[in-house]
Amino acid sequence: MLHLRAVSPVERTDDVLDTLTRHPGVTHVVLLRGAAVQPAGDVVEADVAREATDEVVASLCSLGVDRDGGVTLEVIDTALSDSADRAEESVPGDGADAVVWEELLSRTGEESKLNATFQAFLTIACLLTAVAVVTDSPVTLVGAMVVGPEFGPLAAIAVGLVLRRWDLVRRAGLALAVGFPLAMLVTAFGAWLGSFTELFDRDLALAGHQVDFVFEVGPFSLIVALLAGAAGMLSMTSAKSAALVGVFISVTTVPAAGFAAVAAVLGEWDICLRSVAQLAVNLVGVVVAAALVLTVRHRRGHVRDLGRPLARG
């Protein structure tokens, strides 16, 4: 279940209460008269079955609560209540399969921002790839995959395409278009510095690798990207988010970017171009699969117009 808190203008509180108490998927309704200070109003809290959340939130937004007050949602880890059990049983579907579109839009909107934190993680991931290449260390390469934050913007692009939220697509596209080249530039400088100071041997770096699969583009590159994109989006749209770590480890986006930078510094342009091709295949594959999963889930459920602009930051 999700915990809902609404800050309601006083004159609309009765309508908010009526909306919540009438819905079978809502329970534990609490009213705090005059408790809200900024913006001023009443505070109404309730626990909502995950399957009913979109419908309830849409009803509250139709009352203008999101404009003149506010609506927040929090995940409830444990709810010991017969009334909560009845609320979940009264709405069709399973909570783990329900998509809370407002939650998804908010989450991907936040993760698609081009900021210092995103750029730092992406750059560190590419630098870890460079270390993995020159030391022939698959373990370090896996570490780079886990650190990489690129799935957030990729998921955001998929959400934006399905919901036709072009502002989200633009924001996520900018994060990737600026983030990857900048991270690769820093990685190339690091590789040049390492080569110049003889920190690693160029011939050994170009010898047979356990990590050569990174730039070996083939049909399985696309297959893995499609499967990872589908798994990642299923994870983001359900209550089962642990699978995201597996997605990070399976997709060679960051490793391909880092490998391309190192290969360019060493003058191996064939490997560089193949790594860039691998990067492109993985990026496109993840977005396509994620968008297809969302399209299927979009058609199975009712989605209201999510037209409110994303918060800037």
Tell me the pLDDT tens digit for each residue of 45-60.
Answer: 999 998 888 889 999 9
pLDDT in tens, 200-254: 777 766 665 777 778 888 888 889 899 988 988 888 887 655 556 656 666 778 9
Name which of 52, 64, 65, 58 is nearest 5 in CA terms.
65
pLDDT band for position 303 (50/70/90)? very low
Pairing of strands 2-8, 26-37: unpaired
Considering just the CA atoms, what is the radius of gyration of the chain in Å?
Answer: 23
pLDDT attached to residue 190:
93
Q: How many helices and strands in the chain, by DSSP H and E? A: 14, 4
Q: How large a percentage of the chain has pLDDT more than 90?
A: 50
Q: Report the range of poorest mean pLDDT among 71-85, 146-160, 233-247, 251-265.
A: 233-247
Q: Which pLDDT band, with edges at 50, 70 and 90, does 99 fall under?
A: confident
- In this model, does residue 112 exceed pLDDT 60? yes
What pLDDT sits at residue 302?
Answer: 47
Mean pLDDT over all residues of the chain?
Answer: 86
∠ Cα 190 194 197 (to 5°): 135
Predicted confidence (pLDDT) per residue in 155-210, tens digit: 999 999 998 899 999 999 999 999 999 999 999 999 999 888 878 777 766 665 77
Entry pTM: 0.80
**Per-residue confidence band for 136, with pLDDT thresholds at 50, 70 and 90:** confident
Asked if omega into 9 is within 30° of 0 (cis), the reply is no
- DSSP letter for 312, please: P
CA 63, distance to chain mean position in Å, is 30
Share of the chain above pLDDT 70, in %: 87
Amino acid at position 114, single letter:
L
